[in-house]
């Protein structure tokens, strides 16, 4: 069969698409990224949409469509989900996957608990490290330290000598001293593996006290403030003044705030994110001057 794959909005190589590609290639099918002009030539077309806000203009009724941006209940069949990803689809030289699924919290702005439930271990690090020529792994875990086997995963990472990107961020609100020390023992990096950086989040203004406590534990473990990035959710239940308070406090600590707009169509949220996330602008002028 001729298989077309449409990746609507992934920021990194799409794990589901790579598993679908591997499944069909092992069954002797031809797989390529979907080309609209060749629509009638495909026997099957799969489409993945991660985000609700992306337009999805190329989606058609005869496609097999999934992803969080479509329906939380849609999952890959086990025979596909258990596949080793076909990294050649994206010419990606490293490794991507989940060691853990689920989350301990039930934040109203997040779909993870509804989609994945309580935290559970799903893969060892060795199972994710399939491209042995690379020692860089992007972990997609939404609650890494919520994994009941997190200490085993840390031990594996260190034993193999991998550099890891915790792409979804780590929960600094309840990080323990033991977990902070374990994190400091790991070679962590940003998503591009170009600098030593680990990401946390400060989503709600009322968490300031526990954020400060977690930050201090991480610093005490040996991680430097400039090695920390914080996702900062704006536009959900905070005021512009509270948004400014959080990003300026993080800047004062020496950390990198990274603003995540809840509503990307809102002009204030878009502009505020553009100012903060542009390091040059953020360090050179205030928000009023930027506007």
Dump pLDDT digits (tens) for 234-276: 999 999 999 999 999 999 999 999 999 999 899 999 999 999 9
> How far is it, in rounded angstroms, from Cα 278 to Cα 261?
14
pLDDT given for residue 56 in this prediction: 82
Q: What is the pLDDT of residue 283?
A: 94
pLDDT at 72: 77
Query: Which residue, among 78, 64, 71, 86, has the nearest Cα to 13 in the 3D structure?
Result: 86
> 130-160 b/e with 16+ CB inside 10 Å = b?
ebeebbbbbbbbbbbbbbebbeebbebbeee
Query: Quick one: average pLDDT of 65-72?
Result: 85
pLDDT in tens, 102-151: 888 877 777 786 778 888 999 999 999 999 999 999 999 999 999 999 99
pLDDT band at 73; cut points 50, 70, 90: confident
Residue 107 has which token pair? 């934040």
What phi and psi values does residue 20 have, to the nearest 5 degrees?
A: -60, -45
pLDDT at residue 61, as a whole number:
92
Output the pLDDT for position 282. 96
Give the tens place of pLDDT for each residue, 27-56. Answer: 999 999 999 999 999 999 999 998 888 888
Q: Which CATH number fits domain 85-290: 3.40.50, 3.90.1070, 1.10.490, 3.80.30?
A: 3.80.30
pLDDT in tens, 171-193: 999 999 999 999 999 999 999 99
The 10s digit of each residue's pLDDT in 53-67 is 888 888 999 999 998
Residue 7's H or E segment, with its range, is: strand 2-7
Check: CB of residue 67 under 8 Å from CB of residue 74.
yes
In the prediction, which pLDDT does 6 show?
A: 97
| Single pTM value for the model | 0.92
pLDDT of residue 67: 87
Measured between alpha carbons, how far is 235 from 115 in angstroms, rounded to an integer?
23
Angle at Cα 101 formed by Cα 265 and Cα 258, nearest 5°? 35
Predicted pLDDT at 51:
81
Pairing mode of beta strands 100-101, 120-121: antiparallel
Residue 115, pLDDT score: 78
In this prediction, residues 80-92 reach a mean pLDDT of 97
């Amino acid at each position: 069969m001729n298989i077309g794959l449409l990746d609507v909005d992934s920021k990194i190589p799409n794990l589901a698409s790579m598993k679908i590609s591997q499944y069909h290639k092992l069954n002797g099918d031809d797989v390529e990224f979907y080309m609209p002009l060749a629509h009638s030539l495909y026997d099957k077309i799969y489409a993945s949409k991660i985000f609700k806000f992306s337009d999805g203009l190329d989606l058609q009724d005869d496609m097999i469509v999934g992803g969080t941006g479509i329906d939380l209940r849609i999952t890959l069949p086990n025979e596909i989900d258990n596949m080793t990803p076909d990294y050649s689809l994206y010419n990606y030289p490293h490794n991507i996957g989940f060691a853990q699924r689920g989350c301990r919290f039930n934040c109203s702005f997040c779909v993870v608990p509804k989609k994945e439930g309580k935290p559970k271990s799903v893969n060892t690090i060795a199972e994710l490290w399939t491209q042995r020529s690379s020692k860089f792994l992007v972990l997609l875990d939404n609650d890494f330290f919520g994994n009941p086997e997190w200490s085993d995963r840390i031990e594996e990472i260190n034993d193999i000598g991998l550099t890891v990107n915790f792409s979804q961020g780590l929960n600094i609100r309840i990080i323990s001293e033991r977990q902070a020390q374990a994190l400091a023992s790991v070679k962590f990096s940003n998503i591009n593996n170009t600098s030593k950086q680990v990401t946390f989040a400060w989503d709600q203004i009322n968490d300031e006290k526990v954020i400060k406590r977690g930050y201090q534990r991480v610093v005490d473990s040996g991680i430097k403030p400039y090695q920390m990035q914080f996702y900062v959710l704006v536009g959900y239940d905070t005021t512009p003044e509270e948004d400014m308070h959080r990003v300026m406090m993080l800047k004062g600590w020496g950390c990198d705030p990274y603003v995540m707009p809840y509503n990307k169509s809102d002009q204030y949220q878009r502009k505020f994110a553009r100012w903060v996330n542009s390091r040059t602008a953020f360090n050179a002028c205030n928000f009023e001057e930027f506007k």
